[in-house]
Amino acid sequence: MATTLPPPKPEVFRDPEKSGNGSTGNGGWRNLVPAEGSLRGVEEYSPPPSSSAIWVGIAAICMSFAAFTSALIVRQGSSNDWRHITLPPILFLSTAVLLASSASLEVARRRVAAYMGGLGRSVESARLWLLLTFGLGLLFVAGQYMAWLQLRSQGLYLATNPNSSFFYVFTAIHALHVLGGLAGLGRVIRKLGQGTLRRSTLNATSYYWHFMGVLWVYLFVLLWMRI
Amino acid sequence: MHEVSAAPAAHHGPPTTFIRKHVFSTDHKVIGIQYYHLALVAVVVGMVLSWLMRIHLGWTNAAIPGLQTLSPNGAPGGVMTPEYYLQLMTMHATIMVFFVLTTAPFAAFGNYFLPIQTGAEDMPFPHFNMMSFWVTLTAFLVLITAFFVSDGPPLAGWTSYAPLSAIGKAAGPGQGAGQVIWATALGIFCVGQLLGALNFISTVLDMRCKGMTLSRLPVSAWAWFITSCMGLTAFAVLMPACILLILDHVAGTSFFIPSGLVINDQLIPHSGGSTLLWQHLFWFFGHPEVYIAIVPGMGIVTHVLITNMRRPMVSMKAILYSMWALAFLSYMVYGHHMFVSGMNPFSSLAFSFPTLMITIPSTVVVLIWIGSLYGSKLRINTASLFALGFISMFVSGGVSGFFLAQPSIDIMLHATYFVVGHFHMVMGVAAMFGIFSGTYFWFPKMYGRMMNETLGKIHFWLTFVGTYCIFMPFHYLGWAGNVRRYAAFTDDYLKPLIPLHQFITVAALFTGAVQLIFIYNFIHSRVAGPQAPANPWEGTSLEWIMPSPPPWNNFGGKDPVVYHDAEQYGVKTASGADYIMQNSPEQALGGAEGD
């Protein structure tokens, strides 16, 4: 089914430059003006979105995984029960899938941007790319589950040794964050279908999703080197 | 007053039902009040627990009426067992640190006033904000359920040092289900605080109104912003620690449990874990947590003082930089909690140096307060009295920090009442005085009515004297070698100190009873206090430009424009007032403004 948004409505923005004070403390205002063109996807006025929040969230996740990483390093050095385990080969495939999903999301983001900037006539292709991203994300989570099954078949459970403990913890916590990203992607797809998607929402979701990819590559290399 | 008319920029419409207005509200003001009420409930619970502990320490063999009902196993015949003493201590500290000292000055006042002081209609993610409170409340309720499991709450202390916190029932009553509940509650609490920090930071960065540059933010808003940055990084570390601790309990992992551990003649079937790992993770959160509790108080007290001094601080920038320095250094000093943990002695030196360094920004702030107060005509009201009390407690408690920062002295004083006195004064009581100062100052705005000043001043003086009577003797006890976390001192060299413990207990009961004056004043004023004007203290920040209490959309759909910082006191104006509000375009006569 083709999705065609209603024709753009003229947007009236409050212009801070005309409000009589030349000071610069207007962090909230800058988000009212889209980077390119009008917000064709926005049907009704809504308050200025926060552009910082996604980076704040990413910072918090970085801190959590820094804590997990330091725990791994300290735990490895604290005793001699550290045993090498072979990482499930499917992880290479999952990594490729997650990176591919980042690429497809970027394509979708650019198409939505082009549409919002008046350069595209339909967002249908963007929606398909978003659906592809969503599918690849699901595939990644399924791949992680397969990896756990492969470890289990080798007799490596959560408490078998510290290596397996950290493997399960790292992959599970990361997968939970990916599921959060999938929820965000689902929301983006739904809002795009309804014609109420904001660029800031799409951008924030994209940044988060790309971060999930970067984080996974980091974790994968860490697990590969340490476990 | 000068405002720019604009179409209402509503985050959310006006609440139409009782549930949406008072329960599941997305209004930051309602959420702030909900946090405040949660803190009130929590502080009563925490204080009652401390009373029970103090009575036991003063009169060890005395039966406490009703205690057996609360815990038949923990207090047979009403006499507390040593294990139950530790369980109450753990719950007292956990409730006070997380659900009072973090919740009230940061989450409660910050939620209510940060968006207003930045000129925003609400926080950028009101639903996250609502979720933040309800998640925090859930954490509190989960923690309280520890009283109702068979072995009761955990006894490992609020620091829950491994391996005792990780091995389960073998470590004692409460160390099984109770400890898992504790870790789960804190994990949930972290989620709530992370959601809150996300909103706080985004509000300051993205939601400031026209003209509200960062340098024009009121100092209290700065304090909440700095605190939220600390909270974001600190709670993001505590949560992984809690997850790993829970896994050690329920999944058989060995993150924190070493090999060959024998507890109560029982070999613990774990291997290779690091007990120090927990301490590193916990204190990386734990020391910033101290500043999460105190920095909002610093902001509140500074805000209250400049309003009542009717003149700016000697250097507000120095205060702001000092608060940032405290936040930064708080991550560098955490190892001073571990001087006797067995880590490399050179590490102690490495942590001792920044610990001594952190006294510099603390001292700078105190000197600026005192220097600013010198020669000022301070308006003496309950809020300013509690602000002065905050400074007094912060200095008195902080001085002992110099001793504890040095490993050679700390080795002797570690785990004594000297440490207990130190952190209670500098972190607990000082923060409580900040909360009281904020309450008496902002109550008119929050509830639309004035509190009774006479009762407030009586409350202050009795609390001030009472808390000194409780916590100053702790320092003496510590010097005398009185170890902490002991349930009784009846049969050893500490016996001569029991009369002092009894004095402290009486002082604690007295000071606790004094809080009934506050509770009466709070409730009575809420119902029958005189109507509060919009700006009862003649303040300059944006919360005072709106009615008391503010409407649901703060500025009535009009975005304020800010022309000054919030320190425009002691100025000459055409109207004769000695202050200029932030949203007034009026300029001071005969001098440039100080922003």
| Helix, strand, or coil (residue B282) | helix
- Cα distances (Å, whole numbers) of residue A170 to A83, A218, B186, B294: 17, 11, 20, 34
Give the residue carrying structure tokens 């983001």: A109
Which residue, among B96, B100, B94, has the nearest Cα to B159 in the 3D structure?
Answer: B94
Give the Cα separation of B468 and B191 in Å (integer).
36
Tell me, what's the pLDDT at B591?
57
Residue A51: CA count within 13 A, CB half-sphere: 15
CB atoms inside a 10 Å sphere around CB B271: 16
The span from the first CA to the last CA of chain B, in angstroms, equals 19
Residue with tokens 């400890």: B179
CB atoms within 10 A of CB B478: 25
Burial of residue A7, with CB atoms counted within 10 A of its CB: 0-12 exposed, 13-18 middle, 19 or more buried:
exposed
Encode A126-150 in three state secondary structure: HHHHHHHHHHHHHHHHHHHHHHHHH
Tell which residue, B251, B280, B593, B492, has the closest CA to residue A157.
B251
Antiparallel, parallel or unpaired: β B266-267 and B262-263? antiparallel
For residue B482, how many other CB atoms are within 10 A of its CB? 21
Q: How big, in percent rounded to 5, are the helix, strand and coil portions of chain B?
A: 65, 5, 35
Contact (Cβ atoms closer than 8 angstroms) between residue B177 and residue B93: no
Task: Find the largest Cα–Cα distance for chain B.
Answer: 82
What is the distance between the alpha carbons of residues A148 and A153, in angstroms, rounded to a whole number? 9
Residue B589, pLDDT score = 85
Residue B263 pairs with which residues in a beta bridge?
B266
Instruction: Answer yes or no: are the C-beta atoms of B393 and B424 closer than 8 Å.
Output: no
State residue B12's pLDDT score. 64
- DSSP classification of residue A33: S
Residue numbers in A near B120 (CB within 8 A): 28
DSSP secondary structure string for all residues of B519-555 = HHHHHHHHHHSPBP-S-TT---SGGGGS-SSPPTTTT
Query: Number of helices (H) and strands (E), helices first, in chain B?
Result: 18, 4
Contact B561/A19, CB-based, under 8 Å? yes
Q: How many CB pairs under 8 A join A and B?
A: 168
Residue A26: CB atoms within 10 Å: 25
Q: What pLDDT is recorded for position A196?
A: 85
Contact by Cβ (8 Å): A45, A210: no
What distance in Å separates the CA atoms of residue B209 and residue B204, rounded to the nearest whole number? 10
Q: How are beta strands B559-560 and B3-4 bridged, if at all?
A: antiparallel
Per-residue pLDDT of chain B (595 residues; tens, 9 = 90+): 343 333 334 456 677 788 888 889 999 999 999 999 999 999 999 999 999 999 999 999 899 999 998 888 899 999 999 999 999 999 999 999 999 999 999 999 999 999 999 999 999 999 999 999 999 999 999 999 999 998 899 999 999 999 999 999 988 899 999 999 999 999 999 999 999 999 999 999 999 999 999 999 999 999 999 999 999 999 999 999 999 999 999 999 999 999 989 988 889 888 889 999 999 999 999 999 999 999 999 999 999 999 999 999 999 999 999 999 999 999 999 999 999 888 888 888 899 999 999 999 999 999 999 999 999 999 999 999 999 999 999 999 999 998 999 888 999 999 999 999 999 999 999 999 999 999 999 999 999 999 999 999 999 999 999 999 999 999 999 999 999 999 998 777 889 999 999 999 999 999 999 999 999 999 999 999 999 999 999 999 999 999 999 998 899 888 899 999 999 999 999 888 999 999 999 888 875 444 4
| One-character DSSP codes across A157-201 | -TTT-HHHHHHHHHHHHHHHHHHHHHHHHHHHHHHHHHT---HHH
Nearest to A100 by CA among A180, A223, A224, A216: A216
CB atoms within 10 A of CB B267: 11
Go through B170-208 and write b for each residue having 16 or more CB atoms within 10 A of its CB, e for each that does not. Answer: bbbbbbbbbbbbbbbbbbbbbbbbbbbbbbbbbbbbbbb
* Full-model pTM: 0.91
Using the beta-carbon criterion (under 8 Å), do A158 and B247 form an inter-chain contact?
A: yes
Contact A25 B232 (CB under 8 A): no
Q: Report the pLDDT value the prediction gives residue B571, as an integer from 0 to 100.
A: 93
Q: How many of the other CB atoms lie within 10 Å of CB of B360?
A: 13
Distance CA B231, CA B243 (A): 18
Provide the β-strand partners of residue B267: B262
Q: How far apart are CA A216 and CA B342, in angstroms?
A: 35
Q: With a CB-CB cutoff of 8 Å, which residues 280-309 of chain B face chain A?
A: 280-281, 284
Nearest chain A CA: its distance from B204 CA (Å) = 8
Structure tokens that stand for A71 in this block: 């725990």
pLDDT for res B3? 38
Residues 481-520 of B with CB under 8 A from A: none
Identify the residue among A44, A72, A78, A166 best suited for mutation to test binding to B, counting B beta carbons within 10 A and taking the highest. A78
**Does residue B252 sit at the A interface (CB-CB below 8 Å)?**
yes
Tell me the shortest Cα–Cα distance from A11 to chain B, in angstroms. 13
Give the C-alpha separation, A38 to B307, whole Å.
45
**Rounded CA separation A196/A5 (Å):** 9
Do residue A28 and residue B206 have CB atoms under 8 angstroms apart?
Answer: yes
How confident is the prediction along chain A (227 residues), in pLDDT tens digits per residue? 333 344 444 334 444 444 444 333 333 333 333 444 333 333 334 455 678 899 999 999 999 999 999 999 999 988 888 888 889 999 999 999 999 999 999 999 999 888 877 777 778 889 999 999 999 999 999 999 999 999 999 999 999 999 999 999 999 999 999 999 999 999 999 999 888 888 888 999 999 999 999 999 999 999 998 87
